[in-house]
Amino acid sequence: MNASMRTDLIRLTFLGALVGVAAGAVVLAFRWLIEAGQMRFLPDGSLGNYEALPHWAILALPAGGGLVLGLIFDRLPQHLRAVGIVHIIQQLRHTGRPDLPLANAVVQFLAGSFAIVCGHSVDREGPGVHLGAAAGTQVGRKSEDAETFTLTASGAAAAIAAAFNTPLAGVVFVIEVLGVRYRVDRFIPIITASVTGALVSRAAYGATPSFSIGSELNMGSLYELGLLALLGFVIGLMAVAFTTLTERASSFTCEWRPSIAFTTAGLLTGLIGLAYPQILGISYDTLDGILNAHLTGGVLIGLALGKLIATAVSIGLRVPGGLIGPSLVIGGAMGGLLGSNIQYLALNTGSESFYATIGMIAMMSAVLRAPLAAMLGLLELTAEPNIIFPGMTAVVCADLVARQMLGKESVFEHLRRLTNPND
């Protein structure tokens, strides 16, 4: 490597650190806006407390919010409606400079937070990845095309790192999900950005994991590997159902105006919420309950199926939110259901929290087709190396089922092809 190349790498690494700060800051601002809205409008000012709303509000809030947001989107130019991870993948697939305009990021920031506060069954991580990638594009707007590409990917990695406090999973996310090819000179800035994004998150929330888990995360005996394989098989089927429903909803409603699409998604979410209000919003408060074995089996199965349907339809109808968080909730509920039944049989096995934790990672892996990012996320979220071996069993089984039935592409790639059939 000559002196000029070394200088360029140092400069790009410095820019990667700057992207990490910017991406981490915008992801935290997005989170704070959502939390401020929930504390302002939900009963007792509690985050995610949609369960305390009266029945009419559970139905009216997502439907009415969808109508308001849809009417706004009806008036937006078509190019400003492009938001989310699918939009990032599309830009990274193009030759030349990625184009993630600031105006689209503003739409994502405001529309995503509004949809979540109104109870739509979507997450903040998908919008956060868009916001982080857009921050990278803005930092690199005067750089060469290849450098802007690297800084855009750096912003996406930093966003995942800041959202979950998982810097290593953030780096692998851009490889497995965004399809960025590994090259040492490219990934030194990406790693720097991811670490910096995590530092920004830790400065605000500390170094504790994103989810609190009360029980030990250990297997009771080796025969549990069969149970974990069964869990992976079931979750793989649920990932297939999720992806298929998302695709069908997207293809069936591709000509619908946003006002009709968003209202329909909100109405369906509200109707499911009448029976299982835990599905409204991000549902991370519910996920904490799952991971600490606070929910009954009936609630867990209803939550898993209800969250799957509401999120798949919402994403298919282009509500400006993400699906990573809901996949964690769905998988966690299914893992918790298996764990609770095992505990009921009084077998010498791991705890309900153990199965819920592995279930949420297996579902994320199968939906995103990102087994390595899922496994690294599992390690970083739990800080428990003993969970990797059993976790790999469920992740591999879930991923194999999904790949055999749907192919190797993630749900984002399927949606990208529907949106851009000529690619």
- Model confidence at 298, pLDDT cuts 50, 70, 90, reads confident
pTM (2 d.p.) = 0.93
The answer for 119, left when phi > 0, alpha when psi is -120 to 50, beta otherwise, is: left
- pLDDT of 271: 97
d(CA 353, CA 242): 23
Q: Mean of the pLDDT values across residues 385-396?
A: 90
- pLDDT of 212: 67
Q: Mean of the pLDDT values across residues 47-51?
A: 89
- pLDDT of 381: 83
pLDDT in tens, 5-17: 667 788 889 999 9
d(CA 115, CA 100): 21
pLDDT higher than threshold 70 for residue 261: yes
CATH 1.10.3080.10 location in the chain: 3-205, 224-419
- Asked whether the beta carbons of 62 and 118 are under 8 A apart, the reply is yes
Q: Residue 93's Cα: distance from chain center in Å?
A: 21
**What rounded mean pLDDT belongs to the chain?**
89
20 vs 406 pLDDT, higher one: 20
What superfamily in CATH does domain 224-419 come from?
Answer: Clc chloride channel (1.10.3080.10)
- Model confidence at 345, pLDDT cuts 50, 70, 90, reads low
CATH number of 3-205: 1.10.3080.10
- Asked whether the beta carbons of 118 and 316 are under 8 A apart, the reply is no
Share of the chain above pLDDT 70, in %: 93
Burial 136-168 (b: 16+ CB within 10 A, else e): bbbbbeebeeebbbbbbbbbbbbbbbbbbbbbb
- pLDDT of 342: 78
